[in-house]
Amino acid sequence: MGHQNQQMISYAITGAIVAIVLFFRMRRLTQERRLKLEWMWIMPTLMVAAMIALFLQFPPHGSDWAWLGAVFAVGAAIGWMRGKLIPISIDPETHFLNTKPSPAALLFLLGLFVVRFALRAYLESQASALHISIGLLTDGFVVLAVGLFAVSRVEMALRAWGLLKAARAAKAAA
């Protein structure tokens, strides 16, 4: 089987997985879920640990660090915007935090996935001409994902803490 066929099969499988995940996520868009503030640190911590493990196994060299820093900054900025798209509410009586998946945040992630997919395909085909190593390309996508998902959680946690603090202050003043 040729490389082109394997690549097309890989794209088809990835597309099918994304379609299935989106189908189930879209069905739950109307359901409000409890936001457990005390657990929000776990995913970013695991992602940073995985990124560090990757860097320990395959350490970037020289100017690669500057590129990865820039990619992280882009991921963090996108993550901050994504976090702001996710609505958070608080029950004034119980102080339970709730979140509802945002269609805008989901479409934002889908758009980002499409851009990443196209960019990856382009960069992999042009990596040697652009003098980019495949290792740096992989590290870049990992760093982008960590910046995006970790910072979106940070933004949500900060906003949730603010809502909780305001609700407690209002309850104490009453």
Residue 158: what pLDDT? 94
Nearest Cα to Cα of residue 98 among 50, 151, 42, 30: 30
103: its two tokens: 């269609």
Distance, in Å, from the CA atom of 132 to the CA atom of 63, rounded to the nearest integer, reads: 12
Strand order in the sheet with 97-99: 33-34, 97-99, 88-90
Residue 157: what pLDDT? 93
Name the DSSP letter for residue 34.
Answer: E
pLDDT level of residue 101 (50, 70, 90 thresholds) = confident
What mean pLDDT do residues 63-91 have? 92
| In the predicted structure, residue 1 carries a pLDDT above the cut 60 | no
What digits encode the pLDDT tens for the residues 38-60? Answer: 888 898 899 899 999 989 988 89
Distance, in Å, from the CA atom of 172 to the CA atom of 75, rounded to the nearest integer, reads: 39
What digits encode the pLDDT tens for the residues 111-165? Answer: 777 776 777 677 667 766 767 677 777 788 889 989 998 999 999 999 999 998 9
